[in-house]
């Protein structure tokens, strides 16, 4: 009797009209919602924090956010970054998106390893290896290229507006479990867990690999904000331009399991000093106090890297996409693209029976 009701129900609401439910409205949930809506799916996002909010646990409000090729990742993961670059490069034509094309200079202390970030030369524009006279003598090599930076204070509201214009819905709500969502949306068959660090505590996820990784950046107001500087070696330091907000973001630090919302002035002073050494033409040794403000955010990191997979639980498909640590923006639209394909596979299984 129960089963026949279930079969009957399944034909009452066609699959494509059952909302895909996304838990989380950070860059991962919102990029995915936009892409699903563009493919004609109906989408509801449920989240405690929504675009425009500023809570240290809402990582997407605080990112740098530069597109930088990650080292040590798989071919599939590289492709997610490449897709992101393609989508965001187009967005950069519209300043409302908060995405800008900037020059980048990257200095390395050692020969690049075989799985280093250099693979990104196939994705970015105008890549060239620098002549030793064009980078400081304490480095082994240097690269120049064009890359993308995203101003999250503009990009998240831009995404919210796009999602609403495409017919998506936001519900502000904290949930204790995915099960709570199943009860809220009984006709839905597809649920996407894009809850970032939330996956550590959701009762039916409790992913112990997830951990918080605190970031604290300095925002320096300056009109000299057209070039990104990056060094990854003994020092992990970046200067990320934010041209639409007339400033640069100086970082970085990664502090595991520190959850303090207070500015640590020792870190701030150290970041300014490191950024000055890396880009003295942009960052003065002693910037004026009124030109400096601070950014604090908790990265949703995960031991073993991010999770992206599909599980079948009874008649529901659960897609997981969380744990993006310090790279959620650089992976975002590629992950959204992969999730759309996973949703379409589930759709096919449901409609071709």
Ligand X SMILES: Cc1cc2nc3c(=O)[nH]c(=O)nc-3n(C[C@H](O)[C@H](O)[C@H](O)COP(=O)(O)OP(=O)(O)OC[C@H]3O[C@@H](n4cnc5c(N)ncnc54)[C@H](O)[C@@H]3O)c2cc1C
Q: Cβ closer to ligand X: 195 or 317?
A: 195
φ and ψ at residue 267, rounded to 5 degrees: -65, -45
Concatenated DSSP letters of 286-336: S--GGGEEEEEEEEEEETT--EEEEEEETTEEEEEEE--GGGHHHHHHHHH
Q: What is the DSSP letter of 132?
A: G
98, 212, 297, 334: residue in contact with ligand X (rule CB under 6 A): 297
**Which of 35, 97, 162, 217 lies at the binding interface for ligand X (CB under 6 A)?**
217
Mark 63-92 with x for binding to ligand X (rule: CB under 6 A) and - for no binding. xxxx--------------------------
Which alpha helices (H) appear in the chain, and where do they start and end? 2-12, 27-38, 75-91, 152-165, 178-184, 265-278, 328-351
Judging by DSSP bridges, how do beta strands 316-322 and 190-193 pair with one another?
A: parallel
Mask: binding to ligand X, 153-182, rule CB under 6 A, as x and -?
A: ---------------------xx-------
Q: In this chain, which of 107, 328, 334, 336 binds ligand X, going by CB under 6 A?
A: 328
For 60, 65, 298, the CA distances from 264, given in Å and listed in that order, are 21, 21, 14
Part of the chain binding ligand X (CB under 6 A), chosen from 1-9, 72-80, 324-332, 344-352? 324-332
247 near ligand X (CB under 6 A): no
Q: Indicate whether 202 belongs to the interface with ligand X (CB under 6 A).
A: yes
Minimal distance, residue 243 CB to ligand X, in Å = 15
Query: Residues 30 to 59: which contact ligand X by CB under 6 A?
Result: 47-49, 58-59
Is 230 among the residues that bind ligand X (CB under 6 A)? Answer: no
* Residue from 276, 329, 333, 336 in contact with ligand X (CB under 6 A): 329
Contacts 24+ apart (CB under 8 A), 125-129: 125/101
Among 20, 21, 22, 28, the residue binding ligand X under the rule CB under 6 A is 28
Is 175 annotated as contributing to ligand binding?
Answer: yes
260 in Cβ contact with 136 (< 8 Å)? no
How deeply is 348 buried, as exposed, middle or buried, from its count of CB atoms within 10 A (0-12, 13-18, 19+)?
exposed
Residue indicated by tokens 């639409």: 244
Query: Is residue 25 a contact residue for ligand X (CB under 6 A)?
Result: yes
For residue 282, state whether it binds ligand X (rule: CB under 6 A): no
* CA pair distance 207, 47, nearest whole angstrom: 18
Strand-pairing partners, residue 319, are 192, 310
Pick out residues in 85-124 that bind ligand X (CB under 6 A).
Answer: none
Which of the stretches 136-144, 268-276, 279-287, 322-330 binds ligand X when contact is defined by CB under 6 A?
A: 322-330
Is 299 annotated as contributing to ligand binding? yes
317, 274 contact by CB (below 8 A)? no
Task: Report how far residue 333's alpha carbon sits from residue 331's, in angstroms, rounded to the nearest whole number.
Answer: 6
Contact 208, 342 (CB under 8 A): no
Residue 172 annotated as binding? no
- Min separation Cβ 103 and ligand X, Å: 16
Judged by CB under 6 A, the residue of 195, 237, 317, 320 near ligand X is 195
Q: How far is the CB of 139 from ligand X (least distance, A)?
A: 21
Which residues bind to ligand X, rule: CB under 6 A?
23-29, 47-49, 58-60, 62-66, 174-175, 194-196, 198, 202, 215, 217, 295, 297, 299-300, 322, 324-330
- What are the binding residues? 175, 238, 299, 326
């Amino acid at each position: 009797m129960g089963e026949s009701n279930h079969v009957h129900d399944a034909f009452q609401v066609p699959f494509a009209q059952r909302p895909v439910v996304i838990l989380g409205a950070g860059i991962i949930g919102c990029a995915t919602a936009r892409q699903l809506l563009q493919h004609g799916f109906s989408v509801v996002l449920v989240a405690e924090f929504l675009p425009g909010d500023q809570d240290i646990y809402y990582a997407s409000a605080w990112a740098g956010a530069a597109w930088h090729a990650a080292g040590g990742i798989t071919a599939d993961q590289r492709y997610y970054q490449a897709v992101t670059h393609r989508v965001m490069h187009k967005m950069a034509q519209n300043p409302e998106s908060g995405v800008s094309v900037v020059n980048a200079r990257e200095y390395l202390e050692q020969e690049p390893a075989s799985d280093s970030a250099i693979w990104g030369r196939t994705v970015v524009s105008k890549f060239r290896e620098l002549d030793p006279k064009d980078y400081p003598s304490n480095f082994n090599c240097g690269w120049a290229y064009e890359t993308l930076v995203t101003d999250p204070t503009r990009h998240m509201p831009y995404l919210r507006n796009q999602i609403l214009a495409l017919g998506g819905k936001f519900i502000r709500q904290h949930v204790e479990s995915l099960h709570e969502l199943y009860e809220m949306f009984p006709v839905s068959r597809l649920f996407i867990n894009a809850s970032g660090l939330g996956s550590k505590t959701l009762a039916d996820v409790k992913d112990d690999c997830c951990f918080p990784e605190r970031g604290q950046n300095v925002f320096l107001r300056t009109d000299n904000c057209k070039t990104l500087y990056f060094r990854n070696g003994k020092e992990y330091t970046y200067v990320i331009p934010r041209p639409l907000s007339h400033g640069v973001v100086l970082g970085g630090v990664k502090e595991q399991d520190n959850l303090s919302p207070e500015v640590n002035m020792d870190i701030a002073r150290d970041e300014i000093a490191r950024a000055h050494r890396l880009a003295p033409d942009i960052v003065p040794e002693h910037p004026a106090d009124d030109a400096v403000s601070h950014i604090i955010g908790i990265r949703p990191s995960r031991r073993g890297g991010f999770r992206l997979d599909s599980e079948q639980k009874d008649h529901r498909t659960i897609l997981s996409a969380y744990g993006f640590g310090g790279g959620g923006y650089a992976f975002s639209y590629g992950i959204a693209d992969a999730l759309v394909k996973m949703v379409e596979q589930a759709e096919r299984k449901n409609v071709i029976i």
